[in-house]
Chain A
Amino acid sequence: MTQAPGPIATFDQVTRRYGSLTALDGLHLQIERGQTVALLGPNGAGKTTTVELLLGLIQPDAGRVRLFGGPPARAIATGRVGAMLQDAGLPQGVRVAELIGLIRGLYPEPLSLADALRICDLEDVAERRVERVSGGQRQRLRLALALAGNPELLVLDEPTAALDVQARRAFWQRVRVWVAAGRTVLFATHRLEEADAVADRVIVLHGGRLVAEGTPERMKTRAIGQTASLEEAFLHFIQQGDA
């Protein structure tokens, strides 16, 4: 892996519209190597649009998105990114280990199959068919597919939406283990407690605009001039954004 200097991802005045709806409005953003970044915002804030632009799944109407210094498609094609999309389905009739093995085979320096299974706690169902695993196991399999290539950047869009409290905590525990090796994570969420507990940088989106960013601690103090909860800070920034 080359450790080129400079940000991993850059959004330069990026706008994206869907018909008359402006999903993202002149977003300017940089993501540095080694950060765990939370993209926080209410539903419709532009989180998924940001993720899809970053991954090259959609194109901006104005502005420019760069990933690893080039167009997103190139970063994807060279295996530098792993992603867990919102509600992405899985093919039927494949075994868990086979599917992870397939994805591993697409990347230049993947995790070993054993590591991918262990990190995501899928060892017991490795030989089971995908359609016969539980909802929680399915979600862990989707994380395993995002991690299997051992990518430099991991992108997660609302990864814990379908999980209960316990499973959610275990999920982030797994991501933390993975991040400890200096890799970069960007995740979209509308759960404040996740942003607070997991991220070392929070970006608040509202109505397609960036309304605040910083460490969770800084955001709490900056919002109202005293230490508040992230929830208070979040509401503060969003109301400001509406004004």
Chain B
Amino acid sequence: MTSYLSYLWLEAKRQWRDREAILFRLGIPTAVYLILNATAQDRTPSSGPGGRMVALAAFGAVISGLAAGPSLGEERANGWLRQLRVTPLRPSAAVAAKVAVAMSFALPSIALVTAMAGLVGHSEGIALGWARLAELVGLMWLATAPITAVGALIGLTFAAQAAQGATTLAFVVLWLAGGIFTPPASMPDALAAVARALPSYGVVQVGEHVTGASALSPSALAVLAAWIVGATALAALAWRRVVAR
């Protein structure tokens, strides 16, 4: 346990030192929120009051949550994970640390967007107290867990460049087809069905439940549960393939 924690600490330090990572995972969602909010000229979004906040918080959750993919793929390709396998550290600790650090980025990413919304979000009709906003952050953050599992799965399935490409693809799919900026209700039926089955829409729905834009359906929770179970199981299988050569 101690050795896992020291590995986690090192992993956290190295990723939090990476200014580009901080800019992308924390800066971009907040900046896009502020820009959209400023240019929308006091119009409430079609997805209801707080719709922009929830969308950009989910956007930050997706960027941060998928972070484990490329770095895991790279460390598998360059042999660092093999080096860890000849130390007493349980090598699966490296995977767990990636997921934990991805979660450590998702929390402030969601929180920053929400904090900005708390300050200037009245223009999109937000009338929530800080306590409700904190609840929004906490619940959306928990809902991010399935996305971090997808990141780990990508990193364990694809090596280096391919993991980078697969992460970008997953990001674009979750962003465009995942119900973040376009609600499924405004999509063609087939695409809407896809959107409702993606974990990013689960994150959005958890957020909309707190803002009161829509009630949380059991199916949304089922989708999130299915993704975390499915992606974790597949990641475990991929891990066994990595270890047993």
Contact = CB atoms under 8 A, between A and B. Distances in A.
Contact of A94 (B14, B78, B82, B83): B14
B3 interface: yes
B67 to A, nearest CB: 13
A106 B87 contact: yes
Nearest to A76: B86
The size class of the interface chain B forms with chain A is 20 to 34
B10 interface: yes
Interface in B80-97: 80, 82-83, 85-90
Interface string A67-109: 0000000001111011101011111111000110011011100
A88 B3 contact: no
**What is the interface of chain A mostly: helix, strand, loop, or mixed?**
loop
Interface string B3-29: 100110010011101100000000000
Given A55-B86, A149-B87, A105 B79 contact: no
B17 A105 contact: no
A80 to B, nearest CB: 9
Chain A interface: which size bin? 20 to 34
Contact of B88 (A59, A79, A94, A155): A79
A98 B87 contact: no
Chain B at the A interface: SS class? helix
B17 to A, nearest CB: 5
Nearest to A102: B10
A58 interface: yes
B89 to A, nearest CB: 5
Contact of B7 (A87, A102, A149): A102
Interface in A42-81: 55, 57-59, 76-79, 81
Nearest to A18: B245
A92 B75 CA distance: 9
Contact of A106 (B14, B75, B88, B244): B88
Contacts of B13: 93-94, 98
Contacts of B245: 57-58
A85 B244 contact: no
Contacts of B6: 102, 105-106
Interface in A87-138: 87-94, 98-99, 102-103, 105-107
B41 interface: no
A145 interface: yes
Contact of A76 (B2, B78, B87): B87
Contacts of B82: 57, 85, 88
A77 B88 CA distance: 4
Given A59-B244, A89-B80, A94-B14, 11 more contacts: A55-B85, A55-B86, A57-B86, A83-B86, A88-B78, A88-B83, A89-B77, A91-B14, A98-B10, A102-B7, A106-B6
